[in-house]
């Protein structure tokens, strides 16, 4: 688990201090978030036998060795990537706007605002959290991990802290 906390902290596309669309999913940016002590969610494509990172479109070629990082949560963007990532034993999942998606390691990737369990990864808490289950999350995937880590270390309420500071 990242940073000695009891919950995983996962950098959404490598972001830790807010969205940075120009750098999101770039291999160097992802590596920086890992070096800072966080896990990272990466968007992965497999096209013509080539592994490529990018959210809306494939942008940055990588090799499978890069993707086999134990700190990665690989979001497969096409069926070929999903099948390939599964065959390599990579921590991965596929979803669009599903409320819940099971990762290959058995975690529940949970859409913003949905109920959480002790196996849930709360995705983008800055976009909303279910008030009644916010305390249950096994981890968080966010663009604002530095702020989130501060809140968690100080024993703060994640939902109220994001609402109060209007972090989106």
Average pLDDT over residues 156-167: 65
pLDDT of residue 37: 96
pLDDT of residue 129: 81
User: Rounded CA gap, 93 and 75, in Å?
Assistant: 5
pLDDT of residue 5: 47
pLDDT of residue 163: 62
**Secondary structure (3-state) at 107:** coil
Whole-model pTM: value is 0.91
The DSSP letter of residue 106 is S
Q: Say if residue 137's pLDDT is above 80.
A: yes
pLDDT of residue 168: 54
């Amino acid at each position: 688990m990242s940073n000695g906390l009891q919950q995983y902290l996962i950098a959404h596309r490598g972001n830790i201090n807010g969205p940075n669309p120009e750098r999101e999913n770039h291999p160097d940016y992802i590596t920086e978030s890992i070096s800072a002590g966080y896990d990272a969610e990466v968007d992965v494509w497999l096209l013509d036998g080539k592994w490529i990172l990018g959210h809306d479109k494939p942008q940055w070629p990588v090799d499978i060795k890069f993707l086999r990082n134990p700190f990665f949560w690989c979001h497969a963007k096409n069926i070929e990537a999903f099948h390939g990532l599964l065959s390599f034993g990579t921590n991965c999942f596929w979803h669009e706007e599903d409320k819940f998606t099971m990762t290959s390691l058995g975690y529940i990737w949970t859409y913003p605002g949905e109920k959480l369990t002790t196996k849930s990864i709360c995705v983008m808490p800055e976009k909303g959290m279910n008030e009644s289950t916010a305390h249950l999350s096994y981890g968080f995937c966010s663009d604002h991990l530095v702020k989130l880590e501060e809140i968690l270390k100080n024993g703060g309420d994640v939902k109220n802290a994001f609402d109060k500071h209007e972090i989106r």
